[in-house]
Amino acid sequence: MCGIIGFTGELDAKTVLLDGLQTLEYRGYDSAGIAYYTKDGIKTVKSVGKVSCLREKIDQVEKIDQAEKSPSTCGIGHTRWATHGGVTDANAHPHTCGKVTLIHNGIIENYHELENALAAKGKVPCSQTDTELVAMLMDSCYEGNPMETIKKSVAQIEGAFAFCIQFADEPEVIYCIRKQSPLVACHTENGSFVASDMVALITYSREYFVLPELHIAKLTKGRIEVSTLEGKAVSPEMIKITWDMAAAKKGGYPHFMLKEIHEQPDALQSTILPRVKEGNLPDLTADHIPLSIFKDISHVIITACGTAMHAGLVGRIMIEKLIRIPVSVEIASEFRYQDPVINEKTLVITISQSGETADTLAALRLAKEKKATVLSIVNVKESSIARESDYVLYTHAGPEIAVASTKAYTAQLACLFLFSYQFALGRGCITEKECADKIAQLLHMIAAIEETLTLEKVLEEAGSDLAKAEDLFFIGRGMDYALSCEGSIKLKEISYIHSEAYAAGELKHGTLSLIVEGTPVVALATQEKVFAKMISNVREVKARGARVILITNGRPEVDASVFDYQIALPKLEDELVPFTAAIALQMLAYYTALHRGLEIDQPRNLAKSVTVE
């Protein structure tokens, strides 16, 4: 989703802005722009396409206009992911009106009212964006005092926003304010920096703070002042970055996605090991999760989006199996419109890699309003979801850059498993001995992940076969159905091949009519309990000409005529196979997309962090 960078200080602002935007490319965008102060005033350059296109355009501008070569030490930059208005130079940010130049992440919900109110004053925007309306609104409120202008303007704005604003009268100062959309900032001896994501700041500082909602940050060369809308100074808490830049770079892999797939053994160790105490028992005390929270829960709702929601589908099976209380999994974007049944005995688990997904955050807020206890499983420290939850289990997967979520998903599963074990133990549903056995198996699973990664060759072969398809199916039962959903989204988002996940037993109620000669079907048959039934379903599709990629737990005896490829995962307890199966499905999607010659890390139309509804 849109990215923001701002800088004022001793360095060359254009370089800081362009490098920052490049670092934020992984969020997904379709145009980019910067505004920077030179001795001739604030200049703006914008371009559709990649940051490299923007760089070229700036070079051209500089060739024509020598004044551009003069140093600029203050500016703001943006990568835009179109919401209001098409992908055009005019719609790209920054937007200027009179003395106000600004960039914006988020969505202004009452843009129509704002547009009408401005039109009544004879003001007409040049672009089709909600952002330009805010620049116009701010300019119309401006009487020489930026703080007052921002205060007056945000009082009239509904929706989610993160703004960085330059006023022509104070061209070396950046003002920032946010609501829901993230903004982080830091000050160093080189100056002051602000960004939508700390990945853009890590070259300059290992400490940053999150700008509190509806507070104004004033960035000058010498410092950053943060105050409430009423002007009261506040000092936000500084957060230390614990991982290094190498973790956010490709480290020799052709794509972040492949690197992140291969990082899963390490990521899982970081997620699991600190939460296992002597005797192989779960220990969530460092996460400040008291045993008392397990006592009065009558039901659990897991809510999340996309891949994080698919982790929830596996979590539901685990919690229901071990604790025997009802669990439902709700798509976060639907949750708040369904009048869900929630009370003080409900435990709501939200799951999010970024911790900034707008729909998940809104679901969390609804749950809190209804007095539920909210526990979140989050990767990004101090993200909005983490901050607003009662309890947080961090996944410790390290930065995930590729849009397709891989290591965050398996780390989410690990948190859900540890949590279920602790929950079951806390409620007396399993004995310490049973729990220790389960954790020993969970630790053993990490080694099985290493082994799964060695299946890359056969998965690449199967991927090259799938690359020719335009439609395919993922089928499974129980846990394997949950995994089918994940396999399908992974393939769709990066290979652009249409696929559907189906509960294998449901095929004959309609979908079987779509299986014809050559239709690829990825069949997950990893669960002993339903293995024979699953193989019958595989026979059903094979008999209609399907090309079958069969994924099994170990190498059970299967008639070789029912599959074209067999991916035999290292043998594990059935309930732990989601970890290894997920990795196989991730590699299958990766190699399919690779064979189609696609971009992989930044698929079209998608963004890493979806901070709008």
The footprint of ligand M6R (CB under 6 A) covers 305-308, 352-354, 357, 360, 403-405, 489, 493, 609-610
Task: Pick between residue 499 and residue 609 the one whose CB is nearest to ligand M6R.
Answer: 609
Q: Minimum CB separation from ligand M6R for residue 361, in Å?
A: 9
d(CA 445, CA 570): 9
d(CA 164, CA 29): 18
In order of 67, 157, 441, 549, 579, the CA distances from 571 in angstroms are 67, 56, 11, 18, 12
Phi, psi angles (nearest 5°) of residue 144? 100, -5
Task: Pick between residue 48 and residue 494 the one whose CB is nearest to ligand M6R.
Answer: 494
Structure tokens at 495: 């290979």
Report the chain's C-alpha Rg in angstroms: 26
Catalytic annotation present for 435? no
Q: Minimum CB separation from ligand M6R for residue 13, in Å?
A: 30
E-strand spans in 509-613?
520-525, 547-553, 565-569
Q: Minimum CB separation from ligand M6R for residue 387, in Å?
A: 15
Q: Which of 2, 186, 435, 485 is catalytic?
A: 2
Q: Minimum CB separation from ligand M6R for residue 360, in Å?
A: 5
- Count CA atoms within 13 Å of residue 131 on its CB side: 28
Task: Pick between residue 489 and residue 522 the one whose CB is nearest to ligand M6R.
Answer: 489
Q: Contact at 8 Å (CB) between 562 and 521?
A: no
What is the number of the residue whose Cβ is closest to ligand M6R? Answer: 306
Neighbours of 239 (CB within 10 A): 16
Catalytic annotation present for 608? yes
Task: Pick between residue 280 and residue 384 the one whose CB is nearest to ligand M6R.
Answer: 384
Q: Read out DSSP for 400-421?
A: --SSS--HHHHHHHHHHHHHHH
Longest dimension (CA), the chain: 80
Q: Minimum CB separation from ligand M6R for residue 610, in Å?
A: 5
Task: Pick between residue 166 and residue 353 the one whose CB is nearest to ligand M6R.
Answer: 353
CA nearest to 353, candidates 329, 316, 384: 384
* Residue 465 exposed, middle or buried by CB count within 10 Å (0-12, 13-18, 19+): middle
Task: Pick between residue 8 and residue 609 the one whose CB is nearest to ligand M6R.
Answer: 609
Q: Minimum CB separation from ligand M6R for residue 380, in Å?
A: 8
Query: Which residues are part of the catalytic machinery?
Result: 2, 608
